[in-house]
Chains A and B, each alone.
Chain A
């Protein structure tokens, strides 16, 4: 006698893996085809936007790690993005060689991640959110008060990264650069989801009591999540500055952090596809509003979307799609 619901059809979980592998192969082929088609079929502007979607996807995956998986609300995510961007922007004037910069970005991101994460040793929830918010304000302040170096709120232009014939502000070059980090970040996140570290994060998010009862090192897990998210955002920001060629504080303020939250929640917290969908939203929709001449509508929509998703579709688009599939009976049980 078993403690499980009676199932009409015996279900063999370990055979599903094969079916899954076919699905994965199919998606891989489809994605590669789309990836090749974009620079071939679309114009310069569209390819440039596609590169931005990929860059934002990296940063969104970072927020998804700390908020979507580990459940720690960070309101400083755009600041970490900015940390990377300003490292690239200031490298020219400060004469920092290219090969040092990635290491520098990672080190800065780790340091920033630790500064924000250390309060997690003692805080959670609301207080933690406020400390991250304050950290974001401090970043804004630092940019505004280093006028000579950063141009303050006016922003500054960033010289392209050039290696031989490669120029980060060339369309195809930018697309390639963005593709590389996007692929790296996606694979890392996928591996994270498969690893014990990823499951620890889910445990910490869902119940700290249960985590402790399993032996999960809670503080260690939270700090790791913060550091990973900061590194993702920093790397994305670094590439962003080189690709876009201009940085200004509005890209990295509290509202920008809220947009990243919108991206994570809209797509579906804790889901890689969700982070990609969310990043497509925060890059493409403002462009659409710009094209039709109402750029101011994007923040209104962003606020509305955040509230609507929280109220009506807490699992985000990914779960919404799953629900619809289940409704249509396409979903085999």
Chain B
């Protein structure tokens, strides 16, 4: 293979894995939330987005010091995430199948509020190392890429260790398996649940900030990203750990190769084709979801 093609391949792989690292960061939040509340939050990406937009507004428009602006944005993301659970998810009637729908309402609400408050134009965010680049063997190595990739790996391993090696992880798995039993065993299920939702806000904010540094962003920018993460979760299965995490990296890599080989336009249909193929090929047992309680 000619050196230029090899360098291209390495470039595509690196940027795909960097995106995958951020997908993994988001995926951990999706998995944790699914464990404690058995649902997904369609407004998950927007939780990070509002935080990012607030900090952008504070330092770029209002002139507040960057660190303070970042902290304020983070605080907003944490607040939105925990309130989503406290005010909405916990209070919806279980039987009606609204758990999927309400967070769509929140997605709409947060996106349109952000548009009202911050306008509809695309903005560029803090650089977060995107402007540090070196060239090694014809490959542009961007410090932000490396950061995203390392962060993704660290979060994946860290999540695994917390879930399997700590008492926190044990409590979490206990309340995921059966909240009532966990409660009677003295686990503070509700407190744990709030903590998990708050952590998901943190993860969403981290990923949203790093994505904002890589792209020029408007209020919609997290939506396609989060959709890809949900798809990875759907393929891997949200009641497992490693399969969805690996799927997060894989889907990003797959998409960046599809775009490299077939052009920018190939991104969306490539994912669609992948999903349809997987859904028809994967054994049905693998796709089994939580079912109605047995008779």
Interface on A for B, CB 8 Å cutoff? 71, 73, 75, 119, 122-127, 129-131, 133-135, 137-138, 141, 145, 205, 207-209, 254-255, 258, 261-262, 265, 296-297, 299-300, 302-307, 310-311, 314
- Distance, CA A302 to CA B107, complexed state (A): 10
Interface residues of B in 101-138 (CB under 8 A from A): 101-102, 104-113, 115-116
Q: Does any Cβ of A come within 8 Å of B242's Cβ?
A: no
Query: What are 23 pairs between A and B in contact, CB < 8 Å?
Result: A122-B287, A123-B289, A124-B289, A125-B289, A126-B40, A126-B100, A127-B289, A130-B231, A131-B275, A134-B272, A138-B272, A205-B97, A208-B292, A254-B223, A261-B101, A262-B105, A297-B116, A300-B113, A303-B105, A303-B108, A304-B105, A307-B106, A310-B102
Pair A73/B110 contact, Cβ less than 8 Å: no
Query: Which are the 8 A-B pairs with shortest beta-carbon distances?
Result: A303-B109, A306-B105, A299-B112, A303-B108, A141-B268, A310-B98, A307-B105, A300-B112
Main secondary structure of the interface of B (DSSP, over half): helix
Once A127-B234, A134-B271, A303-B109 are accepted as A-B contacts, the answer to whether A122 and B284 lie under 8 Å apart by CB is: yes
- Total interface residues on B, CB under 8 Å, equals 44
Q: Does any Cβ of A come within 8 Å of B295's Cβ?
A: yes
- Distance, CA A124 to CA B102, complexed state (A): 18
Contact with A along B47-77 (1 / 0, CB 8 A): 0000000000000000000000000000000
A64: shortest Cβ distance to chain B, in Å?
14
Residue of B nearest to A262 (CB): B105
Residue of A nearest to B272 (CB): A138
Chain A hits for B105, CB < 8 A: 258, 262, 302-307, 310
Additional A-B contact list (6), CB under 8 Å, known A122-B279, A305-B105: A71-B97, A205-B97, A254-B223, A296-B115, A299-B108, A314-B92
Interface residues of B in 212-228 (CB under 8 A from A): 223-224, 227
- Distance, CA A131 to CA B277, complexed state (A): 12
Pair B292/A207 contact, Cβ less than 8 Å: yes
- Distance, CA A129 to CA B104, complexed state (A): 11
Chain A hits for B284, CB < 8 A: 122
- A296 partner, pick from B39, B116, B268, beta carbons under 8 A: B116
Pair A314/B96 contact, Cβ less than 8 Å: yes
Contact with A along B141-174 (1 / 0, CB 8 A): 0000000000000000000000000000000000
Pair B93/A314 contact, Cβ less than 8 Å: yes
Residue of B nearest to A265 (CB): B101
- B98 partner, pick from A208, A299, A314, beta carbons under 8 A: A314
Pair A130/B234 contact, Cβ less than 8 Å: yes
Chain A hits for B113, CB < 8 A: 300
Chain B hits for A71, CB < 8 A: 97
